Amino acid sequence: MGKEIDILGFLKPVKISDLANKRKINITGKFKEKKIGGGLIKREKIYDTYWRWCFHRQEIFFKRFENSKFSIYMPDRIFSHYKFCNVYRASDRVSQYLIKNIIYKEEAKDLKPEDHIFRILFFRLLNRYETWTYLEEKLGLITYSNYDFEKISNALLSLEKTGNIVYGSAFMLSGVKIYNEDKKFKNHLKLMEVILNGNFPARLAKAKTMREVYEMIGAYPLIGKFMAYQMAIDLNYSELINFSENDFTVAGPGAERGIAKCFVDIGGHNLTYVINYMVDHQEEEFKRLNLDFKSLWGRPMHAIDCQNVFCETDKYCREAFPELSSNRSRIKTEYKKTTKQIDYFYPPKWNINDKIKNHLDKLQKKK
């Protein structure tokens, strides 16, 4: 099944200087520093930018939620010009598609666990909802019970030949032809066969922690550490497992850059500690900065969200603070206005969906 994942690598103490060297962060400007809890030393202006970014991005989210056709509130030229993810991972368009159209789709509600696992993991590998929509329009409901390697491969080949993109660009995926197939998606399909034909479904059902799920996924080839974490979060949206998103977290490359920009020193801790620090102190930090942060209908940011925000803070800083240069010097994706509204839906176990309905009902009464 592949080598054991080096989970301990995420729990070892990290020096910001080493992290900065790893991500080629070069600081040419001077920033005021201040020691805070846990021995952390922050760059005040950048650290505060993390929280201000959360506030402004969530303001944009709710203004768009309340009126898809409005002239979007943008706090500055950076938000106006570039695309940023949401504060809450589950609010992003791809995650919304996963939750609504992969996991909780009406036709999929009575599927077997292995079918749900296949749908969730293969969708995350593709990470492009246009591709999944195409597959189901062409082949019908995608499950492992009706899995046909040739049919799915040929459908994706046809999509590729017409000049369409098969994979999303959010994550770096290994292109190694470990199963000797000529196409990346064919190797990923073979990987899914290995996962589903083995004992993964039974082990998943017995998992006691999010970390255990992460380690199980990460032990397979073609799945890196950060992708394993993303897949564990995806599975946790479903009814297959139910852990707190604060139980375990992994800092991705973007979050590493963000942490190295926000902090001068992290007091001998690991990156998981830093992310959890942000989770634990969000309320007091918003209050300190006089920011009336609107949570996700009462749900505070969890570790996956705070991890993501470090990545978005890194992106924002590329424009706002060019004196904090790194191995990523520009923001790749420009903002494009869309009036295509998302009908937000979250895992029912979060108890948010009724609050969304009430919010919409109140908006309707005002019209």
H-state helical runs in 9-161: 16-22, 44-66, 77-81, 93-97, 113-126, 129-139, 149-161
pLDDT tens per residue, range 328-356: 677 777 777 776 789 999 999 999 999 99
In terms of domains, do 226 and 254 share one?
A: no
Question: Is residue 202 within 8 Å of residue 208, measured between CB atoms?
Answer: no
> Domain for residue 364, yes or no?
no
* Residue 317 token pair: 């800083």
Other Cβ atoms less than 10 A from the Cβ of 48: the count is 16
Evaluate whether 53 touches 62 at the Cβ level (below 8 Å). no
Classify residue 356: in a domain, yes or no. no
Q: What is the DSSP letter of 241?
A: -
Q: Give the list of residues 6+ apart from residue 304 with CB closer than 8 angstroms, or none.
A: 89, 233, 245, 249
- Residues 6 or more apart from 245 whose CB is under 8 A from it? 210, 233, 236, 302, 303, 304, 305
Verify that 174 and 49 share a domain, yes or no: no
Say what the pLDDT of residue 68 is.
61
Q: Within this chain, do residues 111 and 193 fall inside the same structural domain, yes or no?
A: yes
Residues 232 and 151 in one domain: yes
Answer yes or no: is 15 within a domain: yes
With a cut of 50, which residues of the chain have pLDDT below it? 1-8
Q: Rounded to 5 degrees, what angle do the CA atoms 198, 202, 203 make?
A: 90
pTM above threshold 0.85: yes
The total of structural domains in the chain comes to 2
Give pLDDT tens digits for 299-313.
999 999 999 999 999
Residues 46, 100, single domain; the answer is no
Residues 117 and 181 in one domain: yes
What is the predicted pLDDT for the residue at 5?
46
Q: Are 233 and 252 in the same domain?
A: no
Q: What is the pLDDT of residue 85?
A: 95
Nearest CA to 332 among 94, 90, 124, 170? 170
Alpha-carbon 160 to chain mean position: 26
Residue 1 forms part of a structural domain: no
- Residue 83 is assigned to a structural domain of this protein: no
Q: In what order do the strands lie in the sheet with 263-265?
A: 33-35, 41-43, 263-265
pLDDT of 310: 98
CB atoms under 10 Å from CB of 288, counted, come to 11
Beta bridge partners of 117: none
pLDDT at 4: 41
Q: Is residue 210 located within the same domain as residue 318?
A: no
**Is residue 355, in this structure, part of any structural domain at all?**
no
CB-based contact 88:301 (threshold 8 Å): yes
Judge contact between 327 and 267, C-beta under 8 A. Answer: no
Same domain, 212 and 331: no
**Does 357 fall in a domain?**
no
Domain range for 123 is 91-237
pLDDT at 174: 60
260 domain-assigned: yes
- Pair (33, 118) in one structural domain: no
Q: What is the DSSP letter of 171?
A: S
Judged by phi (left if over 0) then psi (alpha if -120 to 50, else beta), residue 31 lies in beta
